[in-house]
Chain A
Amino acid sequence: GQNIDQPTEMTATEGAIVQINCTYQTSGFNGLFWYQQHAGEAPTFLSYNVLDGLEEKGRFSSFLSRSKGYGYLLLKELQMKDSASYLCAVRDSNYQLIWGAGTKLIIKP
Chain B
Amino acid sequence: SQTIHQWPATLVQPVGSPLSLECTVEGTSNPNLYWYRQAAGRGLQLLFYSVGIGQISSEVPQNLSASRPQDRQFILSSKKLLLSDSGFYLCAWSAQGSNSGANVLTFGAGSRLTVL
Contact = CB atoms under 8 A, between A and B. Distances in A.
What class of interface size applies to chain A in its complex with B? 20 to 34
Interface residues of B, number: 18
A97 interface: yes
Contacts of A71: none
A100 B108 CA distance: 19
A99 interface: yes
A89 B44 CA distance: 9
Given A30-B99, A97-B105, A42 B110 contact: yes
Q: Report whether over half of chain B's contact residues are helix, strand or loop; otherwise say mixed.
A: loop
A96 B46 contact: yes
Interface string B61-100: 0000000000000000000000000000010000000011
Contacts of A42: 90, 107-110
Contact of A4 (B43, B46, B99, B104): B43
B95 to A, nearest CB: 13
Contact of A99 (B44, B107, B110, B112): B44
B110 A48 contact: no
Given A35-B105, A89-B43, A97-B46, 8 more contacts: A4-B43, A33-B104, A87-B43, A95-B99, A99-B44, A99-B45, A101-B43, A102-B43
Interface of B: 41-46, 90, 99-100, 102, 104-110, 112
